[in-house]
Amino acid sequence: MSEQGEARLETMRHSAAHVMAQAVQALFPDAKFGIGPAIEDGFYYDFDLPRPLVPDDLPLIEAKMREIVASDLPFVREEIDGERAHSIFAAQPYKMELIDELADEKISIYRQGPFIDLCRGPHVHSTGEVKEFKLISIAGAYWRGDEHRPMLQRVYGVAFETMEELEQHLSTLAQAAQRDHRKLGKELDLFSIHDEAGPGLVHWHPKGAVIRRIIEGFLEDEHLKRGYDFVYTPHIAKVDLWKTSGHWDFYRDYLYSPMEVEGQEYIVKPMNCLGHILIYKTRLRSYRELPLRYAEMGTVYRYERSGVLHGLARVRGFTQDDAHIFCRPDQLEDEIIGVLEIVSFMMQAFGFTEYEVLLSTRPEKYAGTIQVWQEATDSLENALIRSKIPYKVDPGEGVFYGPKIDIKLKDALGRAWQGSTIQVDFNLPQRFGVSYIAEDGQEHPVVMVHRAVLGSMERFFACLIEHYGGSFPVWLAPLQVMVIPIADRHLDYAHEMEAELRDVGLRVDVDARSERMNLKIREAQLKKVPYMLIVGDNELATSTVSIRLRSGENLGARSLEGFKARAKNAVETRAQEP
C-alpha cells in the first residue's frame, strides 16, 4: 500500500474510534472518555463506565456504530480556547486533565452529530466513510499507563477498506488464537507462570527445558565457531556500577529497588554488559588482541508493569543470548557484518525466512556527543549497505548510549516479533575507561558492540511456539518419537525399539498404557509428536515398525534402520516433517 493509502486507512481507523465512542455514549450516557487512537489494523478507545463491559456488549455497540455510519454525520473541526473547552468537557475528568496540559494553546475539537471529542485529528469527512469494522475484545488499561491511576475499560476494534480484507484479518486472528503460546504452553506442558512466585517470572517445564537446552547448545556451538568466548557474570551488582554507566539516570523506571548488603546497596542486574566490561578491564589489552567477543546466556531482571506483561513475550526475568564485542574503530564495520551473518544463519536455521530490519537513531534523551552518535550510526548503516540488506530508518528509537539495528522476525502468520539487536556504544567505554594499547603505544578507547541474536530466550520461544503452532521441527521437538504397542504382548519389542532409537540420540518414549491404539495415536498427535511407531504382531514377525506422522499420514511398515535414517536426516537438516 502507498504512503497515501496507509495515511487514509489510519485516518479512517481513528474516525472509527470516534464512532465507537459516540455509540458507547448513546448506550451509557454517563460514560467518561479517555483516549481513542488508531493502531495497527484498527483502533481502541478507553472508557470509564458505570459497569464492566462483557463480550455480549460488543454486538450492541457495533450495531449502534452501524447506525451512526449509516447517518453519514460530518466530522466538523473547530478551534476553541481553554475556557470554552473547560465548559464543554466539564463532566469529563480525563479530557479536563488533557486540556489543562495544553495551557494557552488553541484546542481543537471534533463534532459528529451530538458527539464532541477533544482531538487533533485528522478525520474522514463523515461517518459514512468509515468502512468495514468489527469490535474484537475488551481489556483493562490504566489511565495514561500508570498503575496508580484509575483502571479504564479498553475496547479494541479492527477496520479495513473492504469486507474481504476484514474477513482475511479475522481469519488470521482466529489462527493466532489457536497458536497462542500461552494456550499451547499449557496444552503441551512447556512452561508456567505462577502468581505465588510473582508475575512475569517463567518456570520452564521439562519439555520446554529440552527445547531451550537444544537452542542454547546450538547457539553456543555456532558462536564458538565464530570466535566468541563464553563468560559468566553475577546476578547482582552494586548500585554504584549502574550509576557510573548511566543506567540509573536513563533507565531508572526499569530497575528494581536496591537491597542493602553490609551497608552497600545492590540491585539485580538489568543487563550483562557491565560484567563483561569488568572482565575486559582485568588487564591491559593490546590492539593485537582485538576484537574480543564475550558471550553469555545471561539472565537479567527488569521491572515491567503488570499491565504490559504478556506470557513469555513480556516478562520480568529473562535470559538473553547476549554478547559484547570490544574492537578498534577500524574493525567496527566488519564486526557488525559478522553479527549480521550469524543472525541470517540463525533465522534460516529456525525457519524464519522473512524479517524486517530497522536502523534506530538517536533518541531525545541520550548520552555522548552528536558527532559520536553520527559515527556510530554511519557504521551500522554502512554495514547494512555492504551486506545488501534492505532496511528502514526508525527515527529516535535508539537506546540512550547508542544507535542500533533491530531485526523483527515475521512468523507463519506474517506477524512481527522483536528478535536480534545490534547496538554500537561509544559511551560506556568512555565512562568506564575501556581502552587498548594501540600501535603508537598510547591508550585509545575501544568501540563496544552490544548484540543479541535471538534476543530474549523467553520471547523467542513464544515466537517459535506460535510460528510452528506447537508442531516443532523434528530437531526441536521435545519428544521426537512415540512407540505405540498394540497389545501388552508387544511391549518388550516396543522397549527394544526405544533403546535402539535412544542409542542414536533420538528422544523417544513408549506408551505402555492399556488403552486402544487409536486413542494413543490421537493423543500423540495432540502432543504434536513428529513420529509414531506402531508395533503389533506383523511388525514383531517382520522386525519392522509402522510409521505414522503427526499430520495423520500413514507411511506403512518400514525397517527400523530405514526409520532411523529418515529421523536422523530430519534432525541433521533441521527439517519440518509434515
Q: Which residues are catalytic?
A: 273, 302, 320, 322, 324, 404, 450
CB-CB contact of 486 with 518 (8 Å): no
Q: What is the 3-state secondary structure (H, E, C) of 410-464?
A: ECCCCCEEEEEEEEEECHHHHHHCCEEECCCCCEEECEEEEEEEEEEHHHHHHHH
Instruction: Tell me how far apart the alpha carbons of residues 130 and 10 are, in angstroms, rounded to a whole number.
Output: 11
Instruction: Tell me how far apart the alpha carbons of residues 226 and 460 are, in angstroms, rounded to a whole number.
Output: 22
CB-CB contact of 436 with 443 (8 Å): yes
DSSP secondary-structure letter at 280?
A: H
Q: Grid coordinates 477498506 are at which residue?
A: 161
Instruction: Tell me how far apart the alpha carbons of residues 10 and 25 are, in angstroms, rounded to a whole number.
Output: 23
- Residues in Cβ contact with 359 at an 8 Å cutoff, skipping those fewer than 6 apart: 377, 380, 381, 384, 391, 392, 393, 394, 403, 404, 405
Bridge-based pairing of strands 531-535 and 544-549 is antiparallel
CB-CB contact of 485 with 491 (8 Å): yes
CB-CB contact of 130 with 30 (8 Å): no
Q: In terms of Cα–Cα distance, which of 476, 458, 452 is closest to 296?
A: 452
Both ends of the chain: CA-CA distance in Å? Answer: 34
Instruction: Tell me how far apart the alpha carbons of residues 175 and 466 are, in angstroms, rounded to a whole number.
Output: 10
Instruction: Tell me how far apart the alpha carbons of residues 389 and 404 are, in angstroms, rounded to a whole number.
Output: 15
Cell numbers representing residue 441 in the block: 603505544
Element (H, E) at 8: helix 3-27
Cell numbers representing residue 375 in the block: 559515527
- Residues in Cβ contact with 11 at an 8 Å cutoff, skipping those fewer than 6 apart: 38, 122, 123, 124
Instruction: Tell me how far apart the alpha carbons of residues 19 and 216 are, in angstroms, rounded to a whole number.
Output: 49
Q: In terms of Cα–Cα distance, which of 122, 108, 114 is closest to 73?
A: 114
Q: In terms of Cα–Cα distance, which of 170, 232, 227 is closest to 41?
A: 170
Strand, coil or helix: what is 88?
helix
Q: In terms of Cα–Cα distance, which of 544, 421, 555 is closest to 494?
A: 544
Residue 233 backbone phi and psi in degrees, to 5: -130, 155
